[in-house]
Amino acid sequence: MPVDYQALREQAITRVREKERETRIFVGLGTCGVAAGARAVMAALEDKLRQTGVSARLQAVGCNGMCYQEPLMDIAKPGRPRISYGRVTPQLAAQLVDDYIRGDDPRPDLALGVVDGEGYAGIPPLSEHPFFRGQVRLVMRNCGLIDPEDIDEYIARGGYASLHKALFEMSPQEVIAEVRKSGLRGRGGAGYPTGLKWEGCRGAHGSPKYLLINGEGGDPGAYMDRALMDSAPQAIIEGAVIAAYAIGCEQGYFFIRAEYPLAVERVRRALQQAEERGFIGDNILGSDFSFHLEIKRGPGAYVTGESTALQFVIEGRQGTPRWRPPHSIISGLWAKPTTLNNVKTLSNVPLIIERGGEWYARMGTERSRGTKVFALVGHVQRRGLVEFPLGITLRELVYNVGGGLREGRRLKAVQTGGPLGGFLSEAMLDMPVDFDSLKGAGSMMGSGGVVVLDDRTCIVKTAQHFLNFSVDESCGRCSACRIGSRRLSEILTRITQGRGRSGDLETMDALGDLMNRVALCGLGRAAATPVLSTLRHFRDEYEAHIYEKQCPAGVCEMTGSL
């Protein structure tokens, strides 16, 4: 017998309402918040509440994306809107308890905005904050708002309605059709159409089939995967169960980078709660469909986010990528048909089911539908995670959202796509950001990292910095990547020390091109991208290092030239 979803939701809403009867203080305890000192804020608040005897519920939430304002803290008094404050110190937190909770001054001077609804007491809505203006928050719809450790909050906001709909109103084929209609492409970076992948896996010969959820998310500077797991794990799980239903698989593995302990813990709790409520397990919500999901922690290597390497890790082998074909949807985990989806991809799925593929496809560009979460970092004023329809220009991201560069600095380059992505010059700022445009410009979408670099950055040194990530993370299985990335790095070291030679640029071009053509996996193929793209757009800076023994940005010490 199907479980009555409405009843479930009513219960959840009741329980959440219960919470809302008292004053609530929300502290952003995502990994980013913790790093910025949110735990100290939390402790200060606890002290303060105890000392003053103020009755208020302290609640940990995830990150809403405003990383540059961390630690973040919201206060919601009964019957009043929820007001957000940024860069909260323990002192400030205590002050706010005094001013707003004990007194009644919401301190408009300190507030960032009103989280839900209209302005209040002179505080504008948060959605009108330059950082949020124009954002379309689908994947991040709940980030920073709900308690990631309380499934009721997710259900109260409509969570798992899509699962119920998929299970009882749609056939697996219809689910796939809807996702195909949406035009959703894999958000892990490769951009493979998700519906097509599911369809291929569903039709592949062999059983059981497996679903793998990729929470490796190891791109330095692009941490939205972690933020999603920290802040809104339930949407990923819901998306996963829908995917499993569509594919026809009963066992999944949620692969999470072990260096994200908070994410592991949050997902673990979310899974436990989802199981308790019958969203995961045998006969989900009273249907015939069963799906089990197990957490696997990554062994601490970036390359294990690659699909075949990830499978080997789950099988208990060394996490190095293998050659293809066969593709995973034909023969993946334990040689069975396997689908690997990124956490961001799966977070989109419940919305697509709820509102329809056509609705989703209306956003974005012709070949890149929907929204994308970007990690806007580097030398911009406002840094953090933002979500926009694909097709937004880099200029909008850098200047409108990011608030431009710091006083007196000029933009030099924007690096996109994580450590395997490329550098774009200022001339390319008006390019729409989508899978294909970035690729065409010699970079890539990747996880969605956008690193803004100003004129004090040495492009050679920065390229080497990105390359060295791949040198360190290369598994070493194939000779192209193992030796090639190392040789590239050696040449860059020489150049930045003033020992560059004529011919170095040609060698790097050839080597980078070779790696791109013959390396075994995506990492090896793209490892040289930072170098190749800078050679393409910033060749003069290399030449200055080599021939004039000068670093235009004044960063490199050029000791070798003496």
Q: Which helix (H) or strand (E) is 467 found in, with range? A: helix 459-473
Helix locations, 213-306, DSSP H = 224-231, 233-247, 261-276
Q: Are 198 and 176 in contact (CB under 8 A)?
A: yes
According to CB under 8 A, which one of 474, 529, 533, 534 is a site residue for another protein?
474
Shortest distance, position 166 Cβ to another protein, whole Å? 32
What minimum distance in Å lies between the beta carbon of 201 and another protein? Answer: 17
d(CA 36, CA 60): 15
- Count of CA atoms in the C-beta half-sphere (13 A) of 458: 22
The site string for another protein over 375-394 (x = CB under 8 A, - otherwise) reads --------------------
- Does residue 511 touch another protein according to CB under 8 A? yes
Residue 210 Cβ vs another protein, minimum distance, rounded to whole Å: 13
Q: Applying CB under 8 A, does 205 fall inside the site for another protein?
A: no
Q: Does 480 bind another protein (CB under 8 A)?
A: yes
According to CB under 8 A, which one of 109, 408, 427, 517 is a site residue for another protein?
Answer: 517
Whole-angstrom distance, CA of residue 413 vs CA of residue 556 = 18
CA distances 258 to 2, 152, 185, 222, Å, are: 37, 27, 26, 17
Is 294 near another protein (CB under 8 A)?
Answer: no
Q: How far is residue 490 CA from its own chain's centroid?
A: 32
The answer to the question of residue 478 lying near another protein (CB under 8 A) is yes
232 CA to centre of own chain: 12
The 3-state DSSP class for residue 63 equals: coil
Give the separation between CA 481 and CA 145, rounded to whole angstroms: 43
Q: What are phi and psi for residue 219, nearest 5 degrees?
A: -60, 120
Shortest distance in whole angstroms from residue 528 CB to another protein: 12
Is residue 130 within 8 Å of 398, Cβ to Cβ? Answer: no
32 near another protein, rule: CB under 8 A: no
Q: Which residues, other chains included, contact 309 with Cβ-Cβ below 8 Å and sequence gap of 6+?
A: 301, 303, 319, 320, 321, 322, 475, 521
Which strands form 423-425's sheet, in the order they lie side by side?
384-389, 371-378, 449-454, 411-416, 423-425
Minimum Å gap between C-beta 489 and another protein is 9
Residues facing residue 291 across a β-bridge: 281
Q: In the complex with another protein, which residue's Cβ is closer, 154 or 255? A: 255
Name which of residues 304 to 363 contact another protein (CB under 8 A).
Answer: 315-318, 322-323, 325, 331, 334-335
Length of the chain, in residues: 562
Least distance from another protein to the Cβ atom of residue 475, Å: 6
Cβ at position 474, least distance to another protein in Å:
4
Q: Are strands 210-215 and 111-114 parallel, antiparallel or unpaired?
A: unpaired
Q: How many CB atoms lie within 10 A of CB 297?
A: 17
Q: Which of 51, 283, 479, 559 binds another protein (CB under 8 A)?
A: 479
> Of the candidates 37, 57, 145, which has an alpha carbon nearest to the alpha carbon of residue 101?
57
Q: Which is nearer to another protein, 397 or 481 (CB)?
A: 481
| Closer CB to another protein, 342 or 474, in the complex | 474
Residue 470 near residue 492 (C-beta atoms within 8 A): no
Adjacent-strand bridge partners of 393: 432
Q: Which is nearer to another protein, 35 or 335 (CB)?
A: 335
For residue 291, report the phi and psi dihedrals to the nearest 5 degrees.
-155, 130
Nearest distance in Å: CB 514, another protein = 5
- Binding of another protein at residue 519 (CB under 8 A)? yes
Torsion angle defined by CA atoms of residues 63, 69, 70 and 71, in that order, rounded to the nearest 10 degrees: -110
Nearer to another protein, 102 or 482 (CB): 482
Count residues binding another protein (CB under 8 A). 37
How many Å is the Cα radius of gyration of the chain?
24
Give the residue, chosen from 110, 240, 444, 471, that forms a contact with another protein under the rule CB under 8 A: 471
> Is residue 58 within the footprint of another protein (CB under 8 A)?
no
Among 4, 20, 128, 472, binds another protein (CB under 8 A): 472
Q: Return the residue of 483, 522, 543, 544 that touches another protein, per CB under 8 A.
A: 483
The least distance separating another protein from the CB of residue 185, rounded to whole angstroms, comes to 19
Smallest gap from Cβ 301 to another protein, in A, equals 7
Residue 190 makes contact with another protein by CB under 8 A: no
With CA atoms as reference, report the closest residue to 530 among 461, 434, 436. 461
CB of 200 to another protein, least distance (A): 16
Of 283 and 479, the one with the shorter C-beta distance to another protein is: 479
- Of 8, 213, 232, 475, the residue at the interface with another protein (CB under 8 A) is 475
207 near another protein, rule: CB under 8 A: no
The binding site for another protein (CB under 8 A) comprises 301, 315-318, 322-323, 325, 331, 334-335, 471-487, 490, 507, 510-511, 514, 517-520
